[in-house]
Structure 1
Amino acid sequence: MSVKQSMIFGVTALLLVLSGAPAMSEEKSKQHIQIAEIVVDPAQLDSYKSAVAEQIEAAIRLEPGVLTLYSVSNKENPSQITVFEIYRDREAYLAHLQAPHFLKYKATVEKMVKSLKLIPVDPVVLGSQAK
């Protein structure tokens, strides 16, 4: 390959990479991201954990618009649960709310959950090695 061909190839490759950057940013800006702060009745914590595990497993397996669901408990107060949620877009989130496994989860935990606060967030930096 001549120097001229190498330069043309390099510039073309750079333009392709740069033109993809706005598309990726646009895609991320469409995502629906929120945090759910949940307080569970401590006497029902094991049952809650079982129900949320079943719901998250089904959502990740069955719903292509559900990108990330992490549920964690506070070490000092395990009945305080935080769920980090990322959906492809708002429509995927709304579809998730109507999914049979989510409706089952809501009915199951209705009397276990003492409070629920949904906090919409914007990403600053998201990083993961999980596949």
Structure 2
Amino acid sequence: MPSLDRKPGDSGQRTAKAVEWIREEGIKMLISRRDNVQRLETHLLSLADLGRKLLVLGIAVWLCLNLDRAHAQEPQMMLRISEIEIHADHLDQYKALLKEEAEASVRLEPGVIAIFPLYQREDHTQIRILEMYADRQAYEAHLKTPHFQKYKTATLHMVKSLKLVDMQAIDAETMTRMFKKMKR
């Protein structure tokens, strides 16, 4: 700031310098404040953007946790294909026991949706069974039933090879419609 010591005859000049100095300092303060306001606005926008991102992330995490819980609580259907090769000399007896077991399982067990035995046209000893259970617990309960235990022990010596293949439905919605379309 210029010196404001009073000397005779130069009061107008000093006043003009003081006014000029005040104006310049005021402009500097305004510019400084404008820059500070702009920086503050930028920070606030960044914080708002960060807040939106955190909110979206929070919602995503919440959805994942709740969907996992929903899936964990919702029993998942168990699907399996049993690939079995039977010794040819036991084929007729095996088919009769399998037919009996499949019918009893579907009729007696609420958790057994389907046990559908099939054989290959070219090689009748190649058996495939489409197994559908309401959930894993229904499958485990099925293994303990008297009719399954009878089938398992009676056919053990007839089986040349067995492969159990767990499957996953590609289109479960269409699968439910398929069963509705079937006629008795």
Q: Secondary structure at the match of 1:71?
A: strand
Gaps of 5+ in 1: 1-25
TM-score relative to the length of structure 2: 0.55
1:124 to 164, 170, 180: 170
Counterpart CA distance in 2 for 1:122 and 1:42 is 31
Counterpart CA distance in 2 for 1:98 and 1:37 is 21
2:98: which partner in 1?
Answer: 52
Structure number with bigger Rg: 2
Counterpart CA distance in 1 for 2:93 and 2:158 is 8
Runs of 4 or more consecutive aligned structure 1 residues displaced over 3 Å after TM superposition: 26-29
How many residue pairs match? The answer is 107
Shift of 1:130: 2.2
Bigger proportion of residues as strand: 1
Q: Secondary structure at the match of 2:169?
A: coil
Q: Which has the higher contact order (CA 8 A, sep 6+)?
A: 1
TM-score relative to the length of structure 1: 0.76
Q: Work out whether residues 75 and 134 of structure 2, in 8 Å CA contact, stay in contact via their aligned partners in 1.
A: no
1:85: which partner in 2?
Answer: 131
Q: Which amino acid aligns with 1:130?
A: M
Q: Which amino acid aligns with 2:182?
A: A
1:108 aligns with 2:154: yes
Bigger proportion of residues as helix: 2
Q: Following superposition of structure 1 onto structure 2, how do residues 12-51 of structure 1 map, counting pairs within 5 Å? A: 30-51=76-97
Counterpart CA distance in 2 for 1:74 and 1:65 is 27
Q: Deviations over 1:24-66 (max 9, x none)?
A: xx69970011100000001110000000001011101110000
Gaps of 5+ in 2: 1-70
Farther-moved stretch of structure 1 (55-64 vs 28-37): 28-37
Q: Secondary structure at the match of 2:82?
A: strand
Q: Work out whether residues 111 and 134 of structure 2, in 8 Å CA contact, stay in contact via their aligned partners in 1.
A: yes
Q: What CA RMSD, in Å, does the superposition of the two structures yield over aligned residues?
A: 2.0
